[in-house]
């Protein structure tokens, strides 16, 4: 078999064909680029077709004898299997044999592939080539298609229990906080069916001195980011929090930019349900969202995969976000569809999700606002049951902000902020904190968080409202006027009455204080006030 396979100039197995002379891979008749390291692995496995190739042999021939980790080998093989669409194939060509190595066994009795025609500049076949097969074998989109981040336990050679506890606590904190991203699957073990990003760290200790060395590598084993963090054992609790905070922010930022680049190059018409969902998740940039485009993509994802619940969950989140930001008018044309999707969500989503953040959104949609005792009860229960779930903290706390329970909401949002920095949730959290502090009468803090939210997203309507209200309560008339002017430039027909209607606010002391601040800042109370203000402006110009 080995000689038969090795002598062929073109190999074909299942959906793929490899032109060995030109070193080009085609999957379903579409050209698929191979990174240099993956191509080298593929060519060596072809040379050894039928044999079990040990890790030592791979290191010698593919890595030229360099010292590499098991993770590097698994990731390289996983990248090849992904390119070949081999991982989920009914008749895979690449097999791991436990304790021995990897075997490449394409079907020996398959006839040599029909010669492929020439390629145009875009990499597609010219007319006269074989008809391409469908790239979508059904519309199923398992969650495993998400980018996969493996967080390996932070190692330490120090035998002191307190040092080992710090290493373990750092691993847990980083894992819990990174798990808050909708677009990322976080695990603690290398999975050969994934292209794994891997985060590895070593905690060194000498006396009281601690040093964490940690790095993030991509599926091709290229280092994306690394850092060293120094601390002291007698300050380990605070150092642990600061360090985990810094690592999470850097890892989120590094991976987010990589995933955005890869998904952003894909046209919507060519995307599957998973890719459309990722586009919405990654491009949902706080309050500066294109509501129409996001909902169209989710509608397309639901059409492609009617039984997959995350697009409906995302649509429910957009509904909630629009209500939170006072932008309910933007989703009004979609209201009937969104309500239908939310109703379907309760039957499609796993029970544990319905009992969590998704269940809260379903109840909010069904009640039409934040005033019901059931909503407050569900949000409070959510925070109590899932104190370490970043999404539970976020959704539960934001519901309580709008229900007027600002103190509980503020504490939960501060905790959520630690784990959701550098994510799409951050500007919502900062705006929620700002509004909570206005309700609590702590206007200086409200201004601080509002400015930070605006720094991240300039069109953060809720943050501008809180900023205007806080300045007005402090008697800072000019600052309040400028914030109001900026808000009205973005939303010319903004009214306090309209914001209350879109958000469904209840009548509570904290929310009444927030409303009074908006009115003091000069935001029109109702539509008739907008007309009066516009007429005054026209008269002044004349």
Q: Which residues contact 70 (CB under 8 A, 6 or more apart)?
A: 55, 190
The confidence score (pLDDT) of residue 143 equals 35
Q: Looking at the predicted structure, is the pLDDT value of residue 22 above 70?
A: no
pLDDT tens by residue, 438-472:
999 999 999 999 998 888 777 788 899 999 999 99
pLDDT tens by residue, 520-538:
999 998 766 655 555 555 5
Q: What is the pTM of this model?
A: 0.53
CATH architecture type of domain 409-542: Alpha Horseshoe (1.25)
Q: Looking at the predicted structure, is the pLDDT value of residue 139 above 50?
A: no
Q: What percent of the chain has pLDDT above 90?
A: 19
Q: CATH for 2-104?
A: 1.10.10.10
**Would you kindly state where each structural domain of the chain is located, as residue ranges?**
2-104, 143-264, 268-368, 409-542
Q: Looking at the predicted structure, is the pLDDT value of residue 88 above 90?
A: no
103-112, 324-333, 415-424, 436-445: which has the highest mean pLDDT?
A: 436-445
Q: CATH for 143-264?
A: 3.40.50.10070
Q: In what order do the strands lie in the sheet with 52-53?
A: 52-53, 101-104, 94-97
Class of domain 268-368: mainly alpha
pLDDT tens by residue, 207-253:
999 999 999 988 878 888 899 999 998 888 889 888 887 888 788 77
Rounded to whole angstroms, the Cα distance separating 313 from 349 reads: 8
81-85, 139-143, 510-514: which has the highest mean pLDDT?
A: 510-514
List Cα–Cα distances, 198 to 76, 122, 224, 419, 483, in angstroms: 12, 33, 10, 19, 44
Question: 41 with 58: CB under 8 angstroms?
Answer: yes
Q: Which residues contact 321 (CB under 8 A, 6 or more apart)?
A: 284, 287, 289, 428
Q: Chain-wide mean pLDDT for the chain?
A: 76
Rounded to whole angstroms, the Cα distance separating 398 from 395 reads: 5
The two domains 143-264 and 409-542 share their CATH topology (first three levels equal): no
The confidence score (pLDDT) of residue 297 equals 92
127: three-class secondary structure by DSSP: coil
Give the mean pLDDT of 131-150: 46
């Amino acid at each position: 078999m080995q000689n038969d396979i090795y002598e062929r100039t073109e190999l074909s197995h299942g959906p793929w064909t490899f032109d060995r002379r030109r070193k080009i891979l085609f999957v379903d008749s579409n050209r698929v680029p191979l990174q240099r390291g993956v191509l080298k692995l593929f060519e060596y496995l072809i040379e050894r077709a039928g044999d079990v190739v040990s890790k030592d042999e791979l290191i010698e021939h593919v890595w030229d004898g360099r010292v590499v980790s098991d993770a590097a080998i698994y990731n390289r093989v996983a990248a090849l299997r992904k390119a070949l669409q081999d991982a989920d194939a009914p008749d895979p060509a690449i097999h791991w044999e436990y304790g021995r190595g990897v075997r490449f066994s394409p079907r020996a009795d398959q006839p040599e592939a029909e010669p492929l025609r020439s390629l145009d500049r875009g990499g597609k076949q010219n007319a006269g080539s074989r008809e391409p097969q469908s790239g979508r074998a059904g519309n199923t989109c398992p969650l495993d298609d998400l980018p996969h981040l493996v967080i390996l336990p932070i190692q330490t050679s120090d035998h002191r229990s307190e040092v080992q506890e710090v290493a373990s606590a750092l691993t847990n904190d980083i894992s819990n906080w990174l798990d808050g991203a909708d677009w990322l699957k976080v695990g603690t073990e290398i999975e050969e069916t994934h292209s794994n990003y891997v985060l590895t760290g070593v905690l060194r200790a000498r006396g009281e001195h601690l040093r964490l060395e940690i790095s993030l590598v991509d599926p091709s084993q290229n280092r994306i980011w690394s850092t060293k963090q120094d601390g002291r054992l007698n300050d380990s609790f605070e150092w642990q929090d600061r360090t985990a905070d810094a690592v999470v922010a850097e890892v989120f930022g590094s991976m987010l930019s990589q995933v955005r680049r890869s998904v952003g190059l894909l046209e919507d018409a060519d995307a599957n349900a998973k890719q459309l969902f990722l586009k919405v998740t990654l491009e949902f940039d706080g309050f500066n969202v294109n509501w129409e485009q996001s909902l169209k993509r989710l509608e397309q994802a639901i059409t492609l995969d009617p039984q997959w619940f995350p697009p409906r969950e995302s649509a429910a989140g957009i509904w909630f976000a629009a209500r939170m930001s006072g932008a309910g008018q933007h989703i009004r044309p979609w209201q009937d569809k969104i309500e239908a999707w939310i109703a379907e969500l309760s039957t499609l989503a796993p029970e544990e999700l319905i009992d969590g953040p998704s269940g809260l959104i379903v109840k909010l949609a069904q009640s039409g606002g934040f005033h019901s005792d059931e909503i407050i009860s569900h949000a409070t229960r959510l925070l109590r049951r899932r104190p370490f779930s970043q999404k539970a903290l976020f959704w539960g706390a934001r519901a309580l902000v709008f229900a007027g329970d600002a103190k509980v909401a503020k504490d939960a949002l501060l905790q959520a902020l630690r784990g959701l920095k550098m994510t799409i949730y951050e500007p919502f959290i900062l705006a929620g904190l700002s509004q909570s502090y206005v309700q609590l009468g702590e206007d200086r803090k409200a201004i601080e968080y509002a400015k930070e939210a605006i720094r991240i997203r300039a069109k953060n309507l809720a943050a501008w409202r809180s900023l205007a209200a806080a300045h007005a309560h402090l008697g800072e008339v000019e600052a309040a006027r400028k914030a109001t002017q900026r808000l009205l430039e973005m939303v010319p027909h903004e009214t306090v009455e309209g914001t209350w209607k879109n958000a469904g606010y209840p009548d509570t002391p904290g929310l009444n204080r927030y409303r009074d601040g908006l009115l003091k800042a000069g935001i029109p109370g109702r539509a008739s006030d907008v007309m009066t203000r516009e007429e005054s402006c026209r008269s002044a110009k004349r």
